[in-house]
């Protein structure tokens, strides 16, 4: 690290970072780990020295001496390290559940505003969801007890593709219905001409694209491009696929591979959650945001 | 910075700080008062101040010749040591030893106790005692920080506890290591330590030498919470299925395992035993793998699985032992053990 001054680095932490959230770790824990890593890294650098303490000693009736010493009341051993964990603000832009892994955007200090803007602009996310036919579990994920078993030999790749295409079409129809404008109006027609649009509601999951990329019975992997989704929704989606194909299915893994313009390439692995890597990552993220202004500021309802 | 408000000091305990710059006068008065009571009530001292002995006829407008630099308002209660450290010789000396005073503010009982101590009277003798055992300045600072109530114990009691260890045939280096590594040891009475050492000797059926080497290896284990250790023993014997002899081997090789959280070691064990199909005998030979976090082993194991380089049979070529799987940095593992590159390993990690 070329800069040794901790206050300079602290001032420069004002944007978002892109982190790879490992599976079976909560978002809160990721946030705490990042905050701790940043604070310990800053405290190891050269921090502000103790302020000066002017002490006037001596007998007032004879001679008073004025000395300037470092103020022990400001010493790091007395008051604590300069950068405290409670002082660093950090918030996430999209929430990933316990079992999901993948791209997670965190905003540090002033970056919390950018993270909020990105979240409110509702960018699309891409997921790779893997599932397994033949068993249905209590919560739709592989860690719980199996509730139902069924055969899956009758399922072919073509069946899955047909089902997923039908799902995508029905979601597109719903999407137009929830655009917030009367369907019979001219505005709705103009919006439809531009292509897929963002829903007006922030609670309704909308799927823009769904495709089966791998099928080795009983395991299969689908890629979903969607908006407003949450972990339980994706698990129930897998369950629904199993039900529609006259079998049963449960989810074995969820991975967020893209969050608008941030992909897995930009994501920082757990072993790289140190101050130096976080700063380089922040610079990359700033470049991405500068390049694509619509991340932070929406001009149209159409999907870009 | 939010700190919990610690109601620390009454005026009584702050009394010694009031007349701080005229220490000489206090010492004179202390020597006269010492015969009557051990604890000097500062109000007694202040009552015989020069200020009150002024002749009543002098007016305030007359020039004053006395040294009134010590006249100051009472020090008020504060929630941190920073308010007192510039004026307190004791706290400054503790700072020089490297004690982190902010760590004491979390515990409500420590600051009122520390503030009424005097360095030369109370603390110095303990420091001399500990440096005689061989402790360096940094270790002294750490010990005082972790165990400030050591100054409550009698020096004779501390000496008795050290003599007990010598009687039990602990060498001087072992005793130094015990005091260095476990700051709380000296606060336990001889009977307590005897009970704890006896517990370890009985539960693991250790000989005298083994008890001594175990204590020197991990002194904190001996004074650790006994319920936690019993729980870990249950986990290792019943849930994992090791025999008592194997458990004894484990405790002598990795004593830290008994201080770990049982859910964590159970998770690691389940992955190693059930998913990787490693038999118990192999795990007993290298119990350090049980202290590893599950995700680390999982990552490396699945990477090797993907490359097809898994070989846990000692007799076949390209054998990879559990230790090499777990130890070393990721770069070392990716290049030496897996024969691939760190980029491939990182790319694999992003697919998990």
pLDDT category, A90, cuts 50, 70, 90? very high
**Is residue B160 less than 8 Å (CB to CB) from chain A?**
no
Helices (H), B48-154: 82-85, 89-96, 110-115, 124-133, 137-146
User: pLDDT digit string (tens) for B227-239?
Assistant: 999 999 999 888 8
Residue A61 near chain B (CB below 8 Å): yes
Asked if residue B185 lies in contact with residue B219, where contact means CB atoms within 8 angstroms, the answer is yes
Number of C-beta neighbours around residue B314 at 10 A = 8
pLDDT at site B230:
93
Mean pLDDT of chain A: 87
Give every CB contact of residue A30 below 8 A, 6+ residues apart in sequence. Answer: A19, A21, A104, A106
Among candidates A57, A80, A264 on the partner chain, residue whose Cβ is nearest the Cβ of B21: A57
Q: Sorting pLDDT into bands at 50, 70 and 90, what band is B5?
A: very low
Percent of chain B residues past pLDDT 70, beyond the cut: 84
CA angle B258, B260, B262 (to 5 degrees): 90
- Minimal Cβ distance to B65: which of A61, A72, A267: A61
Contacts of A211 (CB under 8 A, 6+ apart): A161, A164, A222, A223
C-alpha pair distances (Å), A259 with each of A31, A141, A264, A292, B208:
18, 23, 9, 13, 62
Instruction: Say which range, A29-38, A137-146, A174-183, has the weakest mean pLDDT.
Output: A174-183
Q: Is B223 helix (H, G, I), strand (E, B) or coil?
A: coil
Give the mean pLDDT of A45-50: 87
- Residue B257 near residue B291 (C-beta atoms within 8 A): yes
Q: Which residue has the higher pLDDT, B117 or B42?
A: B117
Select the more confidently predicted residue: B5 or A207. A207
How long a stretch of residues is chain B? 352
What pLDDT, in 10s, does the model give residues B59-93? Answer: 777 777 777 777 788 878 888 888 888 888 899 99
Mutation for B interface: A43, A57, A70, A72, most B CBs within 10 A? A72
pLDDT band (50, 70, 90) for residue B38: very low
Residues 98-127 of B with CB under 8 A from A: 98-102
* Nearest residue in A to B91, CA atom: A78
Phi then psi dihedrals of residue A136, to 5 deg: -120, 130
In contact, A104 and A19? CB cutoff 8 Å: yes
CA distances from A290 to A124, A285, A304, B334 (A): 18, 9, 16, 36
What pLDDT, on the 0 to 100 scale, is given for residue A277? 92
> pLDDT tens digits for A229-277?
889 999 999 999 999 999 999 999 999 999 888 999 889 999 899 999 9
B328 vs A: CB within 8 A: no
Interval A19-41: pLDDT, tens: 999 999 999 999 999 999 999 99
On the question of pLDDT at B11 being above 70, the answer is no
Q: Tell me the shortest Cα–Cα distance from A182 to chain B, in angstroms.
A: 43
Candidates B347, B300, B295, B348; CA nearest to B322 is B300
pLDDT at B57: 64
Stretch A60-88: mean pLDDT: 86
| ipTM for this prediction | 0.83
pLDDT at residue A223 in the model? 93
Say yes or no to pLDDT of B13 above 50. no
Residues 286-315, chain B, touching A (beta carbon < 8 A) = 295
The C-alpha torsion from B328 through B329 and B332 to B335, rounded to 10°, is 120
pTM reported for the whole predicted model:
0.81
Q: How many Å apart are CA B211 and CA B194, to the nearest integer?
A: 12
pLDDT in tens, B126-180: 999 999 888 888 889 999 999 999 999 888 999 999 999 999 899 999 999 999 9
Average pLDDT taken over every residue of chain B? 81
Q: What is the pLDDT of residues B165-184, one digit of tens each?
A: 999 899 999 999 999 999 99
Domains of chain A: 6-47+82-118+262-303 (no CATH), 124-259 (3.30.2350.10)
Write down the pLDDT at residue A196.
Answer: 73
Rounded Cα–Cα distance for residues A94 and B24 (Å): 67
- Closest-CA residue in chain B for A100? B352
pLDDT above 50: residue B19: no
Stretch A84-101: mean pLDDT, rounded? 91
- In contact, A34 and A90? CB cutoff 8 Å: yes
In tens, the pLDDT along B265-308 reads 999 999 988 888 888 888 888 888 888 888 988 988 888 888 88
Answer yes or no: do A61 and B102 touch at CB < 8 A: no
Q: Report yes or no: A10 and A89 within 8 Å, Cβ to Cβ.
A: no
């Amino acid at each position: 690290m070329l800069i040794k001054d901790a206050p300079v680095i602290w001032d420069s932490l004002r944007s978002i970072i892109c982190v790879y959230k490992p599976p079976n770790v909560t978002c809160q824990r990721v946030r705490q780990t990042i905050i701790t890593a940043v604070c310990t890294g800053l405290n190891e650098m050269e921090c502000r020295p103790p302020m000066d303490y002017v002490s006037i000693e001596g007998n007032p009736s004879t001679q008073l001496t004025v000395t300037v010493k470092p103020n022990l009341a400001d010493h790091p051993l007395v008051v604590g390290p300069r950068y405290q964990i409670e002082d660093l603000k950090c918030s996430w832009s999209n929430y990933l559940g316990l079992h999901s892994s993948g791209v997670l955007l965190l905003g540090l200090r002033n970056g919390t505003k950018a993270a909020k803007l990105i979240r409110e602009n509702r960018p699309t996310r891409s997921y790779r969801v893997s599932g397994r036919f033949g068993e249905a579990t209590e919560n739709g994920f592989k860690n719980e007890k199996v509730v139902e078993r069924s055969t899956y030999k009758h399922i072919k790749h073509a069946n899955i593709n047909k089902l997923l295409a039908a799902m995508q079409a029905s979601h597109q129809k719903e999407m137009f219905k929830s655009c917030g404008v009367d369907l019979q109006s001219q505005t709705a027609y103009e919006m439809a001409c531009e292509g897929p649009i963002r829903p007006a509601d922030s609670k309704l999951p909308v799927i823009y694209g769904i495709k089966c990329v791998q099928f080795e019975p009983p395991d299969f992997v689908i890629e979903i491009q969607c908006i407003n989704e949450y972990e339980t929704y994706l698990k129930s989606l897998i369950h629904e696929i199993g039900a529609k194909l006259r079998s049963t299915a449960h989810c074995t893994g969820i991975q967020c591979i893209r969050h608008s313009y941030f992909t897995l390439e930009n994501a920082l692995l757990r072993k790289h959650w140190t101050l130096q890597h976080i700063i380089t990552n922040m610079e990359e993220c700033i470049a991405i945001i500068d390049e694509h202004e619509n991340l932070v500021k929406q001009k149209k309802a159409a999907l870009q | 910075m939010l700190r919990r408000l610690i109601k620390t000091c009454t005026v009584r305990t702050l009394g010694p700080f009031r007349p701080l710059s005229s220490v000489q006068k206090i010492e004179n008065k202390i020597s006269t008062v010492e015969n009557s009571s051990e604890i000097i009530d500062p109000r007694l001292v202040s009552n015989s101040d020069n200020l009150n002995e002024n002749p009543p006829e002098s007016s305030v407008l007359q020039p004053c010749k006395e040294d009134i630099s010590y006249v100051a308002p009472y020090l008020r209660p504060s929630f941190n040591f920073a308010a007192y450290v510039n004026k307190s010789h004791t706290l400054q000396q503790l700072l020089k030893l490297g004690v982190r005073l902010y760590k004491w503010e979390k515990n409500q009982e420590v600051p009122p106790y520390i503030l009424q101590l005097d360095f030369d009277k109370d603390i110095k003798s303990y420091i001399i005692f500990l440096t005689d055992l061989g402790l360096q300045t940094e270790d002294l600072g750490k010990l005082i920080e972790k165990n400030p109530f050591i100054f409550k114990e009698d020096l004779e009691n501390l000496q008795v506890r050290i003599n007990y260890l010598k009687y039990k045939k602990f060498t001087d280096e072992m005793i130094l290591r015990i005091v260095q590594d476990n700051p709380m040891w000296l606060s336990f009475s001889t009977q307590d330590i005897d009970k704890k050492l006896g517990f370890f000797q009985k539960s693991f059926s250790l000989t005298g030498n083994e008890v001594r080497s175990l204590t020197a290896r991990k002194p904190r284990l001996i004074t650790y919470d006994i319920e936690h250790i019993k729980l870990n023993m249950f986990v290792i014997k019943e849930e994992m299925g090791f025999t008592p002899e194997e458990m004894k081997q484990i405790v002598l090789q990795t004593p830290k395992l008994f201080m770990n959280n049982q859910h964590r070691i159970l998770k690691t064990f389940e992955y190693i035993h059930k998913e990787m199909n490693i038999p118990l005998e192999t795990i007993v030979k290298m119990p350090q793998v049980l202290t590893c976090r599950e995700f680390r082993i999982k990552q490396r194991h699945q990477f090797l699985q993907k490359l097809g380089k898994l070989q846990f049979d000692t007799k076949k070529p390209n054998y990879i032992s559990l230790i090499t799987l777990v130890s070393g940095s990721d770069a070392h593992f990716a290049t030496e053990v897996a024969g691939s590159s760190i980029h491939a390993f990182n790319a694999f990690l992003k697919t998990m």
